[in-house]
Chains A and B, each alone.
Chain A
Amino acid sequence: MSSLNGALAIATGALQAEQGALNATTNNVANVNTPGYSRVIPVLVENPPVVAGSLTYGEGVSLQKLQAVRDPILQLRIQEETQQQGQFNSLVSSLQQLQVNFTSSSSDIGTQISNLFSSLNQLSTDPTNLSLRQGVLTAAGNLATTFNNTAQNLTQQQSSLDLNVSQDVTQVNTLTTQIAQLNTQISDLQGLNQDASSFVDQRDVLIGQLSNLVDVSEIRSDNGVTLTTGNGAPLVVGGQSFALSTQTNAAGFQDVFSQGNDITSQLTSGDLAGAIQARDQTIPGLLSNLDTLASGIANGLNTANQGGYDLNGAAGGDIFVAPPASGAGYATNIAVQITDPLLIAASSDGSAGSNGNVAALSAVANQPIAELATPNLNEQDSPATLSAGDVLTVGGQTSVTAGGTTFTYTAGPTAGANLNEVTGDVATLTAATPLIAGDVVTATRGGGQLTTTYTAGAGATVGDLVQAINSGVSSATITVDGTDSVHSGYQGALVGGALHVVDLQGNNDLGVVETGHAVVSSGAPFTPTAAATSAVQDLINAINGDHTVGAKAALVGGTLEITDPQGRGDIAVTTTDSVLGATIAGAPTALRTPNISTGQTPTQYYSNIVFAVGNDVSNATAELTSSQAILQQLQDQRGSLSGVDLNEEASNMVQYQRAFDAAAEVVTTVNDMLYTVINMGTLTG
């Protein structure tokens, strides 16, 4: 129906619509410099027409909504690239600090190695000269100090990266809390059918910041955004945030936990992953290389010095404090053993003026650096050794009686035997050996979630126990305590007369077969002979030689340590018999694998370290640069889509103003027409 009042209503509606559109422009202009702001465009729609007879009348315009212009896919790409950039940024900045230690200078390790061997060359020209002898000691001291300083710098940086990890986790938690709150606000507003655009923008900014720290997977659903880490640990689900936490690991560093699960090694991008990579891989790798180098030089010179005679005519001793077998921590601790220059064994025959042994000392410069024992182990001190008469105790018992006979220990399987293959090795502790009532074997599986205790009943034998464990069935003579039925994943074996129980069961929900969760105990007490040292060594060899188990073992200061070379956080290290009264109790150890092959001279080895450091920095920098370029391009794309263009806004404003003016003119005209209509009666009357 057409009427003047109708026309007036259409014009008024137009006024309102244009005013609303102008409001969008105003807001866009106001937020021209707001980070993360997405421009808003008014959505104007034609009102449904009215049909009167054969005529269809338009009903004007209304402002349906103000719509923010954003592309969620682009936003996701930006987040992904931000994570990459965060990781490389963190990695590059820490690596750049690292490589300073390996930059060529008058006091770098390479120069100090050269200086030491030069001083030995000088000594050969006059082996009785005390100042030349002192020169060798000084050069050795300088080399040791340089190793110490370099290793300490690396360790300090490791500590500061560790602090970084804690701070990143705190920041992640702050951000996830804020994002969860925004999720609530957004869904509340959307529930009321209101515009949540400004909150969505804020949330995108926060997710961007979060992406810089940690790898974030984003799932958008009705109740807002769900955020998880790349491997699925929850961060934000709707209005709820899940805080990450940290726990100190055995190496003294913070592991990252989500809901009780250690996710440290599963973080793949973001600043956190970069810091963890440098802290747990790059720096330990470098330290391990330095340890190997320092040990190689020290062992070489010590051996050479022992082969000669000092100025007093006595046989030479160590020049450097002897490194531990694994070399672990040696770069930090290397020191010169002797202070008296007379003790350098220059002489090969005991005569004071002989320089015959200097050639042997100098030859260390051309000797290959040897691979060290159990390089996977973070060894703290020298291995303890057993001697004849030492008693291994089991369950507090030192008795050697088993089945009425005295039990004599002999060495078990040959070195390198596969732990799985030695089942049934009953060389000494025979299957028929009766268990003593009260002997307890405890098996802990998969990080300690399940514990099964086997208690020997009267008349049970070791064979029964092995069978029970391997078959997963309890026998009449073995009582099985605990709620977990005996698992087929356990492997029982007699190794060197000791019973070992190994869990070969994969923890399937991690998708990786977890092995090396060895639990070792003995069914019967026994006394070792002189071969006792090799008893523990046999176990070590058996574990190290078994590639299916994949664990590495070593005796560290009386503690049997078993490491997981895959380097996961949940390295299982377990207990065995008490040695010399000291409980063999394991602690998780950091993975330290030298990434430079041995068999090279000290200088070649060092030059390879320099290459490795330089290459790491150079690769990471290249990755960072490309990541930055991509991110910039993506930001550009986002800007071209969502950024506010003042010219555009000005032209929109003019457009809206004109339309408003026109609508106002219509109102005036309709008003005039109404006036005319109202006055029609007066004119005729």
Chain B
Amino acid sequence: MSAIRTNPNPMPDLLAALQQLQQQTNTANLELATGSKINVPSDDPAGSAQLVQINALSSQVDSFQRSISSISGQLSTADSTLNSVVTTLQQAITLGVEGANGTLSDSERADVVTQLTGIQSQLVSLANTTYQGQYLFSGTATNQPFVADASAPSGVTYAGNSGVNSVTIGTGYQLQVNLPGSQIFNGTGADVFHSIQDLITALNTNTAIPAAVNEVSSAFDHVTAQRVFYGNALSQTQSQQTYLSTETLGLTQQTNTISSADVAAVATQLTQDQVAVDATLSSIGRTPATSLFDYLK
């Protein structure tokens, strides 16, 4: 009678095992329901910390993308406005060449001047183009950049400033989004408004018309060159947009690698746990309900 005595009451052990299985089943169910294996920081402390940083990065990428959408409209409006300016200047040059034709009568030249006056006000209006209430070519000032001024030789004064804004569209990637109007329209020897005014004066006086046309032509070249800035900025936003989409994809993949539940493995584990629960329950059920006492009749 010296066999090792076993614990006659196995119930606490079985219940503890059952509780542990229940816990595992709950965790597995939560993982399956959320699709994530990190539901509280303690599930994977290092992974949770990484997720905080990845989430911050992906929020940053989102905000870069939103910034790009916001500035794209502004950049395309500026670009197409400058396209109109260039086209209009082209018309002025054509008119100037026409006016330089010595066979033109005074009244015919006056007609040309009338057309040029129209072009002049059209150019001022283009230079004062707004996007969502903001003047595109006023630098960082908010007031109307080009105002009529009879005292100025060009008839127009620049009231904006020379400030430029940059917008961050990537980590450490600052994109300049505007050129001050003075730089575009008031180039040295290539002033849009001054050249038109000079052409009108030349036509009115019928003197030095070809020189005045050349002046407009210089302004045309200058604005065309300035317009390249907006074209470049637009293409930079487009390629950055593509890059950011790739980055989003990469971040999503990282997130998945860190936190995605391995559904197949979890489901398998869940099934195994359920089998174990059944086995434990059946073991509890089969714990003898009788003892030797029952046979002592």
- Interface residues of chain A, those whose CB is within 8 Å of chain B, are 95-96, 99-100, 102-104, 110-111, 113-115, 117-118, 121-122, 124-129, 347, 349, 351-356, 359, 362, 365, 603-604, 606-608, 610-618, 621, 628, 632, 635-637, 639-641, 643-648, 650-651, 653-654
Contacts and interface: CB of A to CB of B under 8 A. Distances in A.
B29 interface: no
Contacts of A611: 41, 45-46, 48-49
Given A125-B67, A126-B132, A607-B52, 10 more contacts: A113-B56, A121-B168, A129-B132, A354-B165, A610-B48, A611-B45, A614-B48, A618-B43, A639-B8, A646-B293
A131 B49 CA distance: 33
Interface string B6-43: 11110011001000000000000000000000111111
B244 interface: no
Nearest to A104: B51
B112 to A, nearest CB: 38
A110 B56 contact: yes
Contacts of A635: 12
Contacts of A122: 63, 66-67, 70
A113 B174 CA distance: 21
Interface string B163-190: 1011110000010010000000000000
A117 B7 contact: no
Chief secondary structure at chain A's binding surface: helix
B87 interface: no
Given A114-B55, A618-B42, A636-B7, A121 B296 contact: no
Contacts of B293: 646, 650
Contacts of A104: 38, 48, 51-52, 55
B8 A618 contact: no
Contacts of B43: 614, 618
A550 to B, nearest CB: 32
Contacts of A125: 67, 70-71, 74, 167, 177
Interface residues of B, number: 55
A223 to B, nearest CB: 33
B142 interface: yes
A651 B292 contact: yes
Nearest to A95: B42
Nearest to A349: B163
A113 B57 CA distance: 11
B291 interface: yes
A99 B296 contact: no
A388 B65 CA distance: 56
Contacts of B134: 126, 128, 353
**Centre residue among B39, B45, B60, B138 by max chain A CB count within 10 A:** B45
29 contacts: A95-B42, A96-B40, A104-B48, A110-B55, A111-B59, A114-B59, A122-B67, A129-B132, A347-B140, A349-B140, A351-B141, A351-B142, A353-B163, A354-B140, A354-B163, A354-B165, A359-B168, A612-B45, A614-B41, A614-B48, A614-B49, A615-B42, A615-B45, A618-B45, A632-B16, A640-B7, A640-B8, A643-B9, A650-B291
By Cβ-Cβ distance, the 9 closest A-B pairs, closest first, are A614-B41, A614-B45, A650-B292, A639-B7, A617-B42, A645-B8, A118-B63, A114-B59, A611-B49
B5 A641 contact: yes
B165 A356 contact: yes
A654 B46 CA distance: 63
A377 B292 CA distance: 70
Contacts of B38: 104
A646 B8 contact: yes
**Centre residue among A117, A353, A635 by max chain B CB count within 10 A:** A353
A355 B67 contact: no
B53 interface: yes
Interface in B118-143: 132, 134, 138-142
Given A349-B140, A353-B138, A617-B42, A111 B8 contact: no
B39 A643 contact: no
Nearest to A33: B9
B161 interface: yes
Contacts of B142: 128, 351-353
Contacts of B292: 646-647, 650-651
Nearest to A644: B8
B44 interface: yes
Contacts of A128: 134, 142
B166 A355 contact: yes
A319 to B, nearest CB: 18
Given A607-B49, A639-B7, A127 B165 contact: yes
Contacts of A129: 132
Contacts of A628: 16
Interface of B: 4-9, 12-13, 16, 38-46, 48-53, 55-56, 59-60, 62-64, 66-67, 70-71, 74, 132, 134, 138-142, 161, 163, 165-168, 174, 177, 291-293, 296
Nearest to A129: B132
Nearest to A108: B52
A353 B16 CA distance: 68
Contacts of B5: 640-641, 645
A129 B134 CA distance: 9
B161 A654 contact: no
A121 B64 contact: yes
A103 B9 contact: no
Given A353-B139, A650-B291, A124 B53 contact: no
Given A113-B56, A121-B64, A614-B41, A351 B16 contact: no
Contacts of A640: 4-8
A141 to B, nearest CB: 18
Nearest to B62: A118
A111 B67 contact: no
Nearest to A640: B7
Contacts of A99: 40-42
B167 A351 contact: no
A644 to B, nearest CB: 6
B167 A608 contact: no
Contacts of B6: 640
Nearest to A124: B167
A635 B52 CA distance: 43
A643 B10 CA distance: 11
Contacts of A644: 8
B41 A643 contact: no
A533 to B, nearest CB: 40
A111 B55 contact: yes
B47 to A, nearest CB: 9
A353 B132 CA distance: 13
Contacts of A102: 41, 48
A349 B16 CA distance: 70
Contacts of B166: 124, 355-356, 359
A100 B51 CA distance: 16
Nearest to A354: B140
Nearest to B138: A353
B167 A355 contact: yes
Contacts of A650: 291-293, 296
Contacts of A608: 49
A646 B293 CA distance: 8
Contacts of B64: 121
Nearest to A355: B165
Contacts of B174: 359
Contact of A103 (B40, B50, B71, B138): B40
A302 B293 CA distance: 83
Nearest to B58: A114
Nearest to A621: B42
B55 A353 contact: no
Contact of B59 (A115, A607, A641): A115
